[in-house]
Amino acid sequence: MRDFRCRYENKALEVLVAAPTVVNPDIDLTTAGELAQQLRVDSVRSSTSAGSGHPTSSMSAADLLAVLVTRHLRYDWDDPANPDNDHLIFSKGHASPLLYSVYKAVGVVSDEQLMTEYRRFGSRLEGHPTPELPWVDVATGSLGQGLPDGVGIALAGKYVEQAPYRVWVLCGDSEMAEGSMWEAIDKASYYKLSNLVAIVDVNRLGQRGPTELSWDTDTYRRRAAAFGARVVVIDGHDLGEIDRAMREAQEDGHSQPTVIVARTKKGRGFSEVEDKENWHGKPLPPEMAERAIDELGGERHLTVRGPKPGATTRPAHPGAAAAGVKLPVYAVGDKVATRKAYGQALAAIGARRDVVAMDGEVSNSTYADQFAQEYPERYFEMFIAEQQLVAAAVGFSARGFKPFASTFAAFFTRAYDFIRMASISRAHIKLVGSHAGVEIGADGPSQMALEDLAMLRAVHGSTVLYPSDATSAAALVATMADLDGVSYLRTTRGAYPVLYGPDEEFPVGGAKVLRRSDHDQVTLIGAGVTLHECLTAADQLKADGIAARVIDLYSVKPIDTGTLTAAAAATGGRIVVAEDHHPEGGLGSAVVDALTRAGRAELSVRHLAVREMPGSGTSAELLNAAGINAAHIAAAARELAR
Amino acid sequence: MRDFRCRYENKALEVLVAAPTVVNPDIDLTTAGELAQQLRVDSVRSSTSAGSGHPTSSMSAADLLAVLVTRHLRYDWDDPANPDNDHLIFSKGHASPLLYSVYKAVGVVSDEQLMTEYRRFGSRLEGHPTPELPWVDVATGSLGQGLPDGVGIALAGKYVEQAPYRVWVLCGDSEMAEGSMWEAIDKASYYKLSNLVAIVDVNRLGQRGPTELSWDTDTYRRRAAAFGARVVVIDGHDLGEIDRAMREAQEDGHSQPTVIVARTKKGRGFSEVEDKENWHGKPLPPEMAERAIDELGGERHLTVRGPKPGATTRPAHPGAAAAGVKLPVYAVGDKVATRKAYGQALAAIGARRDVVAMDGEVSNSTYADQFAQEYPERYFEMFIAEQQLVAAAVGFSARGFKPFASTFAAFFTRAYDFIRMASISRAHIKLVGSHAGVEIGADGPSQMALEDLAMLRAVHGSTVLYPSDATSAAALVATMADLDGVSYLRTTRGAYPVLYGPDEEFPVGGAKVLRRSDHDQVTLIGAGVTLHECLTAADQLKADGIAARVIDLYSVKPIDTGTLTAAAAATGGRIVVAEDHHPEGGLGSAVVDALTRAGRAELSVRHLAVREMPGSGTSAELLNAAGINAAHIAAAARELAR
């Protein structure tokens, strides 16, 4: 590791160098200007010392951040958990050198950390910000997500917390090409999020050349205005203009989000790179960094603090408390769709004040409308914008809520990047996808989730649940509320018999054995509609004199390896897995992975899954065509047991 | 199945009922009006007969389609392969009753088919349109995709085919909440796609209630205009206004896409449902359908044909022909990144006139810029809009091209819904994702693809390739051009030694055995960076006296089951799989699934994968921390061989 920092001295501003001294909160623009130069210098120093990073993308926004942090962002840096702190999100997460330089400037990260830990192994100062740092709400780095996440936080602040905080989001100009940014501005205006301020750093240059709109700030203005924002176009290097725009953004008497379109120059302040192509994502070589620091007026070590939020009496997080939750009760044998049980259970756990819900304009299909009717103040319609749907959940999670987001399971594929990033954000979000698999029938493959289990299982730290009846669905919904990480519940369109009484428990990582004898010859494993098919198949097999063990694999991840290995051992390794999902990455894969991990026994597995492209038809026709109904399960079992 | 159609008679327009008679192409608006009523009646009849479907969403757009099909859409219904045919895409795919009623009206689907096949098992008249029908370019039904797909077709027509065709896309108002629609309009204006016409059916009502913008056509107008479209706002039930708007859209002398914002009423024409809530996606009950048909003037069986394209001499598809492709040649042992080999091979196969390429603003990282430099006329910069990136590829595929779309592998998660739908579209697209796994180093997890193999394997009919060296990467790029379906190539950031000479062949579904002896004790399986780690581990093991077989699993799907079972048999079932991916759904899963399917003997598998959330660091540090480097592979092998 280069000890790069030792090569520079503070040259110009010694009088201001005062390690933990806090400058008057009412910092003037001259000082902000000095801070801006410090942020640039530190962005150069940190990235050069790391040997990678994005100094030029940081330098363009340094003036914006200097004015924001010294004069507008209300943040108690000694208490990041203060519920009234403003929120600062770098949607352009690659400008992490700037963010971490801000942290140095407010005194929560030392210069030494900045110079020795940035982008290093084991450090919290990662290449792109993550909530491993207490001042970071959400992970960014996949562009077009910070602003949608910010919409979620602003929704929480305005509608549920009734908190005074503002959400400030620094956006790149390149990421304005992501549709998700427009989903965010649209929802921000729909929900009148006057507490949200997006600052677009229009530095004209993307990674491989000019951006689509270059410095056409008027087009950005017209677009953001048409999407319902109050827009201010400024010179992003004019401290007075920046200050005025940020003050205006906080003025009362309006009900719109603010978008500050700031014309800037990439690499601002160092003539060798300023507004030059081919300097994206490249640290300056050491000798060049030296010249840059000279031109920027030398190293500085200002410590500054801006305004703090006022005193608060609110708790840091909404409590779970409130009236006891009474889950719906179902009579064994009644036919109830698991998606309906989801809605009813969600409405039941709505008694907890920390539960919020949102849906992508299909709440009458997912049954999220049951919650919306009971708790309209904690329900948020996201319309058909699944990326913003998941991002809103991430934002609510950042504020300590338990967000449930629902849509058709197939349409969560629209938000996979957001789900992946939610995991990196250490967000605790609860996704509920209805209309799984070919079981949905006539609507055809565009509406059939056949990849969702694979997609969700592959997310780090995820929990994947797939109940087969209303009792287990309701119980798992209640359990999900307190799960960490990304959890996913897959529900089914059709109504199938209730299998369990109300006192049955469904621990995450468990499984239920629904048929068992001392002489089982084969194990049948299913979940959702295929579990019901397995039960029917077991009855058919019994008539043939074949005893089959049947397992309800309601917890796909984590999986109940013990129950699986016991069943495999008891049935001579003969296993039929049936799933309403493509063959890769779903139930079958989870079962085989678990058994393989558990040891080296011989296995004879028949894996029934959706292997051809389905079309329309009835549920029964499609289950049969896919080879995952009772007849096919029984046939596979007979073949194994032969 | 109800024989619903027999209950109605043609009541009003017998004079016009003339089965395969083609009305003069210059059909007047009175006839178009009659046709519109027929389309409504048939939308009601077909959905009632099917017992499901979206009649009210069809009725709102019937006037638009009647005018379009009779007077503006230039389409030779007897020759859907005519390369100069216009394209008609229902981005609101749920209005399939309307689309299929149009097909009846032009005489390519019979009334009997409409009434007995719609949404039935085995029929091509699926719940949402798919290219199983020769007049359908792309599958729709996941909202917000038809317009982006249409942008791809319009790009092909304007820039590569230089064809006279127009692309007409019927959009729903609900789907305007999808960011992807704005990515599409943005790209359409950036590329001056004057051959693209989006018709937005603003019927005010979504699935569960009013849309976000209701009938606020002015906001739609301002948004589309700000995004660069020429916008016309019309009464979508005024045939004259519709006709004028569609004529204007075709006028020369402008370089913008057109957006026709049409104010309509859902369920138009039947007073019991017109502009009423709670009628989304519901067929009318039979007795209600009877009243509807009465109110609409009764059944009609008009057959009409609009204008045809002029005579053409162009072939239906661009030929692959042109100069022979000379793939780049690499010297064994040289260090070359597979992403670089991708760019070089892509530039080489660019000699084929049917190869086109596009990238999401990272072409200098994916090396797609190598192609862009050679063939700028067939390269399309999509900026940071991965949904539109994949949709453009789907559109090019619909026109018979071989589209290669590249970005960081992690960011294809942004477009998973588009990839899933590409499979349903029977599109042949080639996706290439760079910067896989923790190997990328300091940038951190937001940039690391760790779910991409699981995601792509789960797509129906997909091919998943993961080369470890430049020779195999280049060969597989050439092979991909002619693969059917969705194919995916995963490339690596760093440069690693070339393993194969230029004459080696890499069939899809194959694998390479790089180390083999008669007394192998353990099999090591890797791909990408982990294959190189496996080779190093094998050397270390050899020094310990342990012979290891090493397999390059460059074809993850389909997989070489024969090579795997042979290796398992030869090494006592002792297998180490190492992958730079989360443990679910990737290499390990593919190997275990294949061996299980093959009827598995006892196996002892050690599956090394990325099981913790990575941070920043060097490639070596992160591979070690994840437990997937040579040292961990050798340790796992030693444990097995003990």
pLDDT digits (tens, 9 = 90+) for A115-137: 999 999 999 999 999 999 999 99
Contact A616 B384 (CB under 8 A): no
Three-state helix/strand/coil letters over B444-468: CHHHCECCHHHHHHCCCCCEEECCC
Interface TM-score (ipTM) > 0.85: yes
Q: Please give, rounded to a whole number of angstroms, the shortest distance from the CA of B303 to a CA of chain A.
A: 27
Contact B414 A410 (CB under 8 A): no
Pair type for strands A512-515 and A548-552? antiparallel
Residues linked to residue B427 through DSSP beta bridges, in sequence order? none
Contact B142 A414 (CB under 8 A): yes
**pTM for this structure?**
0.96
Cα B318 to Cα A246, A352, B314, B399, B431: the distances in Å are 54, 61, 9, 8, 20
Q: Please give, rounded to a whole number of angstroms, the shortest distance from the CA of B379 to a CA of chain A.
A: 14
**What integer best gives the mean pLDDT of chain A?**
94
Give the C-alpha separation, B258 to B236, whole Å. Answer: 15
Residue of A564, A616, A618 for testing the chain B interface, max B β-carbons within 10 Å: A616
Q: Does pLDDT of A28 surpass 60?
A: yes
Q: What is the pLDDT of residue B263?
A: 98
What is the band of A315 on the pLDDT scale with cuts at 50, 70, 90?
low
What is the band of B13 on the pLDDT scale with cuts at 50, 70, 90?
very low
Question: Active site residue: A386, A439, A451, A533, which one?
Answer: A386
Contact B607 A585 (CB under 8 A): no
The residue type of A271 is: S
How many other C-beta atoms can be found within 10 angstroms of the C-beta atom of residue A109?
Answer: 21
Q: Does pLDDT of B235 surpass 60?
A: yes
Residue of A596, A611, A621 for testing the chain B interface, max B β-carbons within 10 Å: A596
Helix (H, G, I), strand (E, B) or coil at A63: helix
Question: Active site residue: B386, B439, B533, B579, which one?
Answer: B386
Give the C-alpha separation, A530 to A586, whole Å. Answer: 13
Mean pLDDT over B411-421 rounds to 98
Task: Mark whether A386 is an active-site residue.
Answer: yes
When CB atoms are compared, the residue of B127, B181, B420 closest to A413 is B420
Is residue B32 within 8 A of residue B66, CB to CB? The reply is yes
Contact residues on chain A for B182, CB-CB shorter than 8 A: 179, 182
When CB atoms are compared, the residue of A208, A361, A597 closest to B362 is A208
Listed residue (B126, B178, B124, B125) closest to B147, CA to CA: B178
Contact B179 A179 (CB under 8 A): yes
CA-nearest residue to A118 within chain B is B616
Contact residues on chain B for A642, CB-CB shorter than 8 A: none
Q: What is the pLDDT of residue A313?
A: 64
- Tell me the pLDDT tens digit for each residue of B323-376: 689 999 999 999 999 999 999 999 999 999 999 999 999 999 999 999 999 999
Is residue A535 within 8 A of residue A542, CB to CB? The reply is no
CA-nearest residue to B617 within chain A is A121
Cα B482 to Cα A80, A545, B258, B485, B508: the distances in Å are 55, 51, 34, 10, 11
Contact residues on chain B for A225, CB-CB shorter than 8 A: 222, 226
Q: Does pLDDT of A1 surpass 60?
A: no
Q: Secondary structure of chain A: what % helix, strand, coil (to 5)?
A: 40, 15, 45
What is the band of A316 on the pLDDT scale with cuts at 50, 70, 90?
low
Q: Does pLDDT of B7 surpass 60?
A: no
Q: Please give, rounded to a whole number of angstroms, the shortest distance from the CA of A379 to a CA of chain B.
A: 14
Contact B618 A121 (CB under 8 A): yes
Mean pLDDT over A538-550 rounds to 97
What is the band of A388 on the pLDDT scale with cuts at 50, 70, 90?
very high
Q: Does pLDDT of A154 surpass 70?
A: yes
Contact residues on chain A for B122, CB-CB shorter than 8 A: 615, 617
Listed residue (B33, B27, B29, B57) closest to B170, CA to CA: B57
Q: What is the pLDDT of residue A88?
A: 98
Contact residues on chain A for B590, CB-CB shorter than 8 A: 584
Contact residues on chain B for A451, CB-CB shorter than 8 A: 416, 420, 455, 458-459
Q: Does pLDDT of A10 surpass 70?
A: no
CA-nearest residue to A442 within chain B is B119
- Tell me the pLDDT tens digit for each residue of A404-456: 999 999 999 999 999 999 999 999 999 999 999 999 999 999 999 999 999 99
Question: What single DSSP character describes residue A381?
Answer: E
Q: What is the pLDDT of residue A323?
A: 63
Mean pLDDT over B577-583 rounds to 98
Six token digits for residue A55: 């100094």
How many other C-beta atoms can be found within 10 angstroms of the C-beta atom of residue B531?
Answer: 29
Q: Does pLDDT of B295 surpass 50?
A: yes
Listed residue (A600, A608, A605) closest to A624, CA to CA: A608
Q: Which strands, in side-by-side order, build the sheet including A604-608? A: A512-515, A548-552, A522-526, A574-578, A604-608
Q: What is the pLDDT of residue B4?
A: 37
DSSP, residue by residue, A545-570: T--EEEEE--EEES--HHHHHHHHHH
Q: Please give, rounded to a whole number of angstroms, the shortest distance from the CA of A560 to a CA of chain B.
A: 16
* Beta strand residue intervals within A361-452, DSSP E: 379-381, 402-408, 429-434
What is the band of B12 on the pLDDT scale with cuts at 50, 70, 90?
very low
Give the C-alpha separation, A531 to A467, whole Å. Answer: 9
Q: Does pLDDT of B21 surpass 90?
A: no
Give the C-alpha separation, A213 to A224, whole Å. Answer: 14
Mean pLDDT over B407-411 rounds to 98
Listed residue (B18, B32, B42) closest to B104, CA to CA: B42
Range scoring the smallest mean pLDDT among A139-153, B161-175, B283-297, B317-331 = B317-331
Instruction: Considering only the C-alpha atoms of chain A, give the largest distance between any 2 of them, rounded to a whole number of Å.
Output: 92
Contact A413 B414 (CB under 8 A): no
Q: Does pLDDT of B6 surpass 50?
A: no
How many other C-beta atoms can be found within 10 angstroms of the C-beta atom of residue A514?
Answer: 18
CA-nearest residue to A584 within chain B is B458
Phi, psi of B429 (to 5 degrees): -115, 150
DSSP, residue by residue, B121-163: TT-SS-SS--TTSTT--S---STT-HHHHHHHHHHIIIIIS--
Torsion of CA B381, B383, B388, B393, to 10 degrees: 30
Mean pLDDT over B178-206 rounds to 98
Contact B182 A180 (CB under 8 A): no
Give the whole-number percent of chain B exceeding pLDDT 90.
Answer: 92
- Tell me the pLDDT tens digit for each residue of A197-213: 999 999 999 999 999 99
Torsion-angle region of residue A285: left (phi > 0), alpha (psi -120 to 50) or beta? beta
How many residues comprise chain A? 642
Q: Does pLDDT of B415 surpass 80?
A: yes
Residue of B279, B411, B451, B579 for testing the chain A interface, max A β-carbons within 10 Å: B451
Contact residues on chain A for B49, CB-CB shorter than 8 A: none
Contact residues on chain A for B361, CB-CB shorter than 8 A: 174, 177, 206-208
Mean pLDDT over A454-466 rounds to 98
Pair type for strands A555-557 and A463-465? antiparallel
Range scoring the smallest mean pLDDT among A113-117, A248-252, B444-448 = A248-252
Q: What is the pLDDT of residue B319?
A: 65
Placement of tokens 């200097």 in the chain = A66
Contact residues on chain B for A357, CB-CB shorter than 8 A: none
Contact A177 B123 (CB under 8 A): no
Residue of B96, B414, B582 for testing the chain A interface, max A β-carbons within 10 Å: B414
Interchain CB contacts (distance < 8 Å): A and B: 356
Q: Please give, rounded to a whole number of angstroms, the shortest distance from the CA of B182 to a CA of chain A.
A: 6
Q: What is the pLDDT of residue B300?
A: 96
Contact A460 B365 (CB under 8 A): no
Mean pLDDT over B87-105 rounds to 98
Question: What single DSSP character describes residue B322?
Answer: S
Q: Does pLDDT of A591 surpass 70?
A: yes
Give the whole-number percent of chain B exceeding pLDDT 70.
Answer: 94
CA-nearest residue to B185 within chain A is A179
Contact B174 A383 (CB under 8 A): yes
Give the C-alpha separation, B587 to B584, whole Å. Answer: 9
Helix residue ranges, H only, B173-324: 179-190, 217-226, 239-250, 286-295
